[in-house]
Amino acid sequence: MDEILFPGEAAGAHAPAHPGLAQRLGALRANAAARLERLERNVDGLLFRWDDFKQTHRLRPSRFLAVALLTGVVSTAAVLYTPACAVIMDGQELGLVTTKAQVQAIEDRVEDRVSAILGRPYEMEDQVTLNWRVVNKRELTSPITLENALFNQVSEVTRGYVLTLDGQPIATQTTSQGLRDLIDSLKAPYVNENTIRAEFTTPLELHYEYVDVRQVTDDLSAVTALLTSNSVEPMIYTVQAGDTTSAIALRQDMSLSDLLAMNPGVEADKLWIGQELTVRQSVPYLGVRTVDQVTYEEVVEPPVEYVDDNTMYQGDSKVLEPGAEGLNQVTAQITYLSGQEDHRDILSTQVLTAPVTKVVAQGTKERPKTMPKGYFIWPVRGVITSGYGNRSLFGTRNFHGGIDIYVPTGTSVKAADGGTVITAEYNRSYGYYVVISHGNGKTTYYAHNSKLLVSVGDKVYQGQVIAKSGATGNVTGPHCHFEVRINGQRQNPRNYLP
């Protein structure tokens, strides 16, 4: 018999130095040897009895073959077949699994999926029944297949097309055509034969996914009304020549009081070119950005060459050669936001006709002090007591052709610009008044003075004192009445003063 070696002990090794440990190892060896001897005797006895059985009970070949065949059939059946439960819902068998625990796990996953779609807890509530039987193992259903089959039986959810605006669902239908038609109709007003790209400024997308059946609708009128509505937002408007506050308000579909309320400090009768005003504009709820690729002809202004002329005053000029405009053919991509041009990118430019240079002589001669500078200053400083336009005076409504500026009697009245005095006299209505011609059809009036300091034909410079204010003529108190006329037509002085 082979020697039994214990862990950490090699054959022929010396006994441990510790006496107690040596005694226990000796006892273990003796016990193992006795058990091994009994095992050998039992095996010898079994072999002897088997030999004796073979001598006294010989099986016939047919009986031995039947026993072997039966054993094979039982073994094969155990390999190929298994007990299983059929999962049934609404009378329809959905699949086969081997344990009820599998069914419960699949139901839990289906409930979680449905709850996520509905946005509320969902339970199947004994909708599933089980039918046990023995089946071929190849008939078993995979868990994911059974889960999807069970999920598709839930009546609270369905597959549908969801229209989302900036990720938020706004409409759901079972087919996509109605929603696609809606998307196309929103782009249609801004698309033409030159449009190469059209998209929404806020993402409007169509998704095919599982949805709550209660969200499905056939009526798109509400969402159509929302997406085609307009909102009102502030924008900056730059004042152009000829603008008035009333005209600007009318163009922006605003009242004059609303315009002034949005622009604190702005006076209704005082605007200047380049001034920026805050106005309201109508903005589509859903913006559409389009890009058009177009080819067009563009007029090119001639370059200007200036030459000095010492016979003309500084600020004066004269065209020596008019030159000629050129013509280019331009291909560009123009980007629009809801129909309003945002910017354009020039792709190519072809010169069809080159421009011809324009030659202009400019004066270098020092300008006399009394020559007009081309702009006006205030004749006096004070509070405007009556503005330009219609007014009621002494119970009668009339048109006031200038502005009245309150100042005490004796205040110096200055020329708004250089020019020539063409009137200096007394008038029943204006009292003592002065009219100055500034050339190019421009004249200014200064009325109700107490004393005149200039005469007809005098040359005056901008800022020169021409009179002393007073209350002569048809007045209710001392002030300076100031008018601006262009070619004889009265203008609003506030449009010409700084």
Name the 3-class secondary structure at 315. Answer: coil
Across 254-277, average pLDDT: 87
133 near 84, Cβ under 8 Å? yes
**pLDDT at residue 438, as a whole number:** 96
Residue appearing with tokens 């006399």: 368
**The two structure tokens encoding residue 171:** 């409409």
Tell me what percent of the residues of the chain surpass a pLDDT of 70: 84
The pLDDT tens digits of the residues spanning 63-116 come to 545 545 555 544 555 578 899 999 999 889 999 999 999 999 999 999 999 999
Residue 280 near residue 231, CB atoms below 8 Å: no
- Across the chain, mean pLDDT equals 86
Which H or E run includes 171?
strand 168-173
Q: What is the CATH number of domain 291-365?
A: 2.20.230.10
Map out the domains of the chain as residue ranges.
82-154, 159-229, 231-284, 291-365, 383-495
Residue 411: how many other CB atoms lie within 10 Å: 23
Give the pLDDT confidence score for residue 144 in this predicted structure: 94
End-to-end CA distance of the chain: 127
Specify whether domain 383-495 bears CATH 2.40.160.10. no
> Which residue did the predictor score with more confidence, 377 or 37?
377
Tell me the average pLDDT across 288-301: 96
Tens of pLDDT, residue by residue over 183-213, are 999 999 999 999 999 999 999 999 999 999 9
Residue 32, pLDDT score: 54
pLDDT at residue number 71: 53
Joined together, the tokens standing for residue 27 give: 């006892």
Question: What is the per-residue pLDDT for 230?
Answer: 84
The model's pTM is: 0.54
How does pLDDT run across 423-480, given as a tens digit for each residue? 999 999 999 999 999 999 999 999 999 999 999 999 999 999 999 999 999 998 999 9
- Residue 1: Cβ-neighbour burial (10 angstroms; 0-12, 13-18, 19+): exposed
pLDDT at 49 over 90: no
Q: Is the pLDDT of residue 418 over 60?
A: yes
Q: Is the dihedral of CA 20, 23, 27, 28 positive or negative?
A: positive
* pLDDT tens, residue by residue, 315-356: 889 999 999 999 999 999 999 999 989 999 999 999 999 999
The mean pLDDT value for 133-154 works out to 92
Does the structural domain 231-284 have CATH classification 3.10.350.10? yes
Tell me what pLDDT residue 244 has: 87
Quote the pLDDT of residue 55.
Answer: 56
pLDDT at 13 over 60: no
Asked if the domains at 291-365 and 383-495 fall in one CATH topology, the answer is no
> Max Cα separation, the chain?
166
Q: Please state the length of the chain.
A: 498
Q: Return the C-alpha torsion angle 112, 117, 120, 121, nearest 10.
A: -20
